[in-house]
Structure 1
């Protein structure tokens, strides 16, 4: 298995044919969980840095703002991906069998 740029697993064509639907489901669920955990970790890190700045424990506003923007971009991306997945699901459900 090859690692992609974002850390999500990429499967070759051969692996795709040799993988059962249950394994694909498990890999997808794990990838989704890891992505959500990454967004949560960025949000928690941003909150902690902001609180530390407010308490006067951190005087580097630059890093606090970078952390905040990183968490914001990750949350926006996750929301957009969610919307696209729901849209794709609805499209599949509209297909006639």
Structure 2
């Protein structure tokens, strides 16, 4: 089955895994988490600014808060799927 999936990832023909692909995944994961964190910080700052009267546009505050909320829910769901996959792998018998 692995031989049929060519060019889709770090698997070479013959089922060998290319080296160095783990760093790419960890880099992508780190960048994604930083983006989620930035969205959370921006939403919190806009909320604080609105509370202090610096911003009068409540729509912008609500939109940013929803963006941050959706990003956080997606991150938690991805984490749950990764943990579930890890548990499935650990239960496999060789």
| TM-score under structure 2 length normalisation | 0.83
Q: What does residue range 85-96 of structure 1 map to in structure 2 within 5 Å? A: 85-96=82-93
What are the ranges of 5 or more consecutive residues in structure 1 without an aligned counterpart? 1-11
1:35 is aligned to: 32
CA RMSD of aligned residues (A): 1.8
SS at match of 1:39: helix
Name the CA distance, whole Å, in 2 between partners of 1:73 and 1:44. Answer: 14
Matched length: 85
SS at match of 2:56: coil
The reply to whether residue 13 of structure 1 matches residue 11 of structure 2 is no
What are the ranges of 5 or more consecutive residues in structure 2 without an aligned counterpart? 1-5
The structure with more radius of gyration: 2
| TM-score under structure 1 length normalisation | 0.81
**Where is the strand percentage greater, Structure 1 or Structure 2?**
1
Runs of 4+ in structure 1 off by over 4 angstroms are none
